[in-house]
Structures are given as structure tokens and as C-alpha cells.
Structure 1
Amino acid sequence: MSDDFRQKFKTFSERMVNVASRCINEEATKLFLVLPLINFLGYDTMNPDEVCPEHNADFSDKYKNRVDFAILKNNEPVIAIECKALGAPLKDDRGQLRSYFNAAPTVKMGVITDGMVYEFYADSDEPNMMDPNAFLSFDLHDIAKGKIEDSVVDGLKSLQKSNFDPENIGAEAKRKLVFQNLVQQIEELAQSPSEPFVRILLQNIGLSHVRSKAMADYIVLTKSAFSEFVNLRILQRLDLPTKDKRT
């Protein structure tokens, strides 16, 4: 099922990349790039009770903000989408999206996009306070080239109309943010293993007492082991034969 969705997402992204050159302003971006993705996720863009353009947070005295699209559930906004012209920097409008997000108590997810790059935000730390970091992001240019991470596939599937759960998206976003941070930490350790980390690994293989003079060699060895592990996983993913290498 994931592979089927992955292929559909790739095909969709290829189509979006092909029409992107004709999106010369924000309105064209909304019409030809953003609305198709909303529809791809299963929401009825022809139903104003489900996808509402220029939704206003008029229930707030503090904020009088609009978002380009709000996805509604039971006539209440649950997803807010802010659009920029294709190629425009997204960071400039994060504050505007945050203001709307914070003003609308039923909104559980905010999206900012230029039609190609998408950033998804939730309130994983505090209710109705948009997180500073996106829990999911992708670029349709990469997707069209087949560069589709499993985390993107799983994340986007959870946002489909048939799967989206507004009440649990915050917890899911928290899990994804922690996962992203763990991946970053592992990547940093793979590139530059710290001495405490190497000592833990050595203890696990029975080397409890390592002299400081020998530690430099073990750090280099650990870095090589990380590299070998990654190479083996790539070969397994490609279903290619592996050689039994030992250092």
C-alpha cells in the first residue's frame, strides 16, 4: 500500500513540476499547485464546507488574520494553509500562519507552501501554540525525481482525509520531531564519534578498560564501522549481494 501511494505521489509531483513554469503569481500557484495537492489528499476542493478559501479568524478580537485555505471538519477549521508565490521564501509568512494558528482553537495543523516546497506545523508542545519547527517538509522537485523518504510517505498518508485525526496530530508531530532530532544526532555521531559514545560501544563488546592513547584509534575504527554499516544497508535495500568484510 505504501509503495502504491509512493508511486502515485511521484506521478503527481511530476505533473506539478511540469506545470510550475506557468505559475507566475500567487493566484496561479494556489490554483494549479496547492489546490491539486489538497485534492490529492482526498479533500473536496469543490465543497466550501470542506475547503474554504480566504478563511478569516474573525472569532478573535486579538487577531484579524486570514489564511488562503482552511480545511474544515464539522464546519470548524482544523488545517490552515498559507500560500506564497512560487519561489518566494516561506519564512516571511510563518509569523502570519502562527498568528492565525494561535487564534483558532480548533486548528491543529498549519501548512505554509509556495506550491513546491511544503512545511507542516502542529502544536506538539502547547495547545494552539504553533511549534517553531516543521514536523514534516518536502519539495515536490525531489519527489518527482524519486527522492521520497519513508517518513514523508508515512507523514503525508496520515494527513489524507480518510486518515487525518486532528486530536492526535500533535502527539504524532512530537514523535516525528524527536525522530528527526535522533536522526541528526546519529548522523553527527557517525561523522564524528564522541569518546563517551565509543566507550559505550566498546563496553558492549567486552572492552571495558581502554587507555586514552588507544581511544583515538578506536574512534577512527568506529567511524569506519558506521560507514560499513550504512553501505551494507544500501546494498540490502538495492537487493545487491554483500561481501563479508571485516576490519
Structure 2
Amino acid sequence: MSFADRLAALAQRAPSLIDHLATEEATKNALVMPFIAALGYDVFNPQEVVPELTADVGVKKGEKVDYAIKQDGEVIVLIECKTAGVNLSEANMSQLFRYFTVTKARIAILTNGVYYRFYSDLEEPNKMDSRPFLELDLLDLREHHVAEVMKLAKGSFDLDRMLDAASELKYLRELHKVLADQFEDPDSDLVRFLYLKVNPDGRFVASVREQFSTLVPKAFQQFISERVSGRLRTALAQEDVVAGRKQEEPAADNEAEDEERGAETETTAEEIEGFHIVKAIVREVVDADRIAHRDTKSYMGILLDDNNRKPICRLHFNWTQKYLGLLDADKNETRHELKTIDDIYQFSDQLKETARRYDS
């Protein structure tokens, strides 16, 4: 299971847990430790994850940071935790700030188990920045945020790459805030700039300022709405094309075409596991040697007698969410969501019925 899958599973559980996490320890156990584990670190191995790391600061002794992630014996990430539901205040941030200065870590995380703020020392070496370069909300996961957090994962951690990304993310985050403010209430300089762009010879007098201060937000809204609508139309059109192709494929019986499709794909271990589960189910009604599979870019087809006119089912495992595609007598497909590959067993009766139909 990928980091994105593990994080999505944790995010799915989080809403039902939050109200029951009344202490910091409960938050750590239910949300923070699974988050660290999702990154690929062994939370029970002190060579990788150190709980309650001592980080004495000056005359303050016994200061401890909740978790420290280590690589090759060096601390690379600090994590300070608060109780779920608690706002991540500046006071909490200043506590992490003190820890940051006495370790070699270049990445620090402040979290309440649901909301994660990521800091570095981009502005001054060995001094944690006052503003995070990235924020992650488990209740509002966004694909580009997940992709950036994944750079901290055990198998792909690269400090230089992470710091380069952090620098870019920091400015992108601030630009987003500026653009959001300007979108709602553009300042006079922006209004003037845009007015002169559309009317280079005009004079930016008070009456024009008043008129364009209303027009600019409307133009922003219409521009974004048109872009979103255009992308939706494109996406829907592509889905229609793909759906049309998939409806045609069961009736195809061109082995050369199938081989060409198969040459462009990579059969995964999960697909093979799914095939063997289907085979174990269907062998109760037909000989196991008659059950075959063919892989395409979009799905793995499981066939009787290796005949594309006899599809038993389809395994759609190429995306984060996995589906089992069942086909009726007219070869119309219905997809069923799978939480785990073993969920295929829930459809044993339908799979056996399909195999019997072809065999009769």
C-alpha cells in the first residue's frame, strides 16, 4: 500500500476518532503514530523514531520533543504534538522553535493529529522559520499536499530535495494568500494596473477607480468559473470516450490487439493476487486450467478459456481506489468498490454464476 493510500485510510478514520481524543497521549496513539508509520518509519524502533527526545535548551533542562525521526543515526525531523482539536498557537510553535535550535534537524512538524504544519530554517540557518512552508489537513486532503509530504517518507527522504521544495512551497503558500485577498478585495494598485492594461491611454481618475474596483472581482470570478467549466467538460468528454472503449472491449476477439495492449502494461502483484482469488472462487464450477487473465492499461480482465468473449470479471487496480467489475449477460459492467483485495470473496456467487453462464 502506498503512502497516499495509507494517509487516505487514516484520514477516513480521523473524523470518528477526534471526539474521543481528550489527551495528548490519546492523540499520539490514534493519529500521530499512524501518520509516522504511513511515512514508512518503524515507530517501535528507537533507531528510527525516538519518543520524548531530550532537547535541553540553555538553563532549561529536561525539555523533551514528542518524536524525533532519525536517519543514519542523525535526527532529521522533529514532531511536537498537541491534543486533537487544540489550535496550533504561536506558543506551541515557540516551544518547537526552542527544540529546533539544539538539534541538527532541518524539518519540524507541529500537529494536533489532524492538522500538520511543516517548518524549516529557510530564512536563517538553524533557526526555525516563523511561518510553515506546508500545511496538511487530514480532513481536507489535497493531492499536491500529499505529494509534497511524501518526500519525507523513509524510502525517498532527500534533505536537499526537501529543502528545495520547501523554499518553493513557502512562497507559493504566501502567493496563494495574496491572490485570495486580491480576489475578494483588490487593492487600488492592482485595479490601476489592470485598467491601464485594457486602456493604455486612459486616465485613472476617481470615477474609473470606483467602476473598476467592482469590475475586477467580477472578471476574476468569471475567468475562474470559465476555466473550471472548461476543465470539467474536457474531463467528462474523456470519461465518455474511455467508457465507450470499455463497452466495446468485451466483444473484441482480436488476439494481436490484446497482445499489443498487454505489451504496454505492467501486471502488478496485487492484480496477480486478485486473479488467484477469482480463480479459487470460480474453480468450484469450472476447471481451474480454463481460467486465464489478460492485462490492459485500464484493467486486468479475467476470462474463461482465455476467450475475450467470455469475461468473468475485471480488476480495476490501477488507481488508489480499487474496484471489481462484474458483467451481466449483455456484458454490461458494474463496478464494486473494494476496501481490500479479499473483499472479492463477497462476490463469489456472482462470479460463479457468470462462469456457469458461459459454460452452459
Matched, 1:119 2:117: yes
1:1-247, aligned counterparts within 5 Å?
A: 8-57=6-55, 64=61, 65-91=63-89, 92-104=91-103, 106-143=104-141, 148=142, 150-205=143-198, 207-212=200-205, 213-239=207-233
- Contact between 1:23 and 1:29, CA under 8 Å: does it hold in 2? yes
Query: Which shifted more, 227-236 or 33-42?
Result: 227-236
Counterparts of 1:81 and 1:5, CA distance in 2: 18
- Contact between 1:63 and 1:99, CA under 8 Å: does it hold in 2? no
RMSD: 2.5
Counterparts of 2:68 and 2:3, CA distance in 1: 24
Partner of 1:238: helix, strand, or coil? helix
- Contact between 2:68 and 2:78, CA under 8 Å: does it hold in 1? yes
Aligned amino acid, residue 229 of structure 2: L
Any gaps of 5 or more consecutive residues in structure 1?
A: 242-247
- Contact between 1:63 and 1:103, CA under 8 Å: does it hold in 2? no
Any gaps of 5 or more consecutive residues in structure 2?
A: 236-360
The normalised TM-score by structure 1 is 0.81
Counterparts of 1:88 and 1:187, CA distance in 2: 26
Deviations 1:77-130 (A, max 9, x none): 1101111222233323222211110111x1111111121121111111011111
Aligned amino acid, residue 156 of structure 2: N
Partner of 1:54: helix, strand, or coil? strand
- Contact between 2:192 and 2:204, CA under 8 Å: does it hold in 1? no
Higher relative contact order (CA 8 A, sep 6+): 1
Query: Which shifted more, 194-203 or 65-74?
Result: 194-203
Deviations 1:181-200 (A, max 9, x none): 21122122222223332333
Counterparts of 1:196 and 1:55, CA distance in 2: 50
Cα gap change, 1:63 to 1:169, in 2 (>3 Å): farther
Counterparts of 1:6 and 1:208, CA distance in 2: 53
Partner of 1:70: helix, strand, or coil? strand
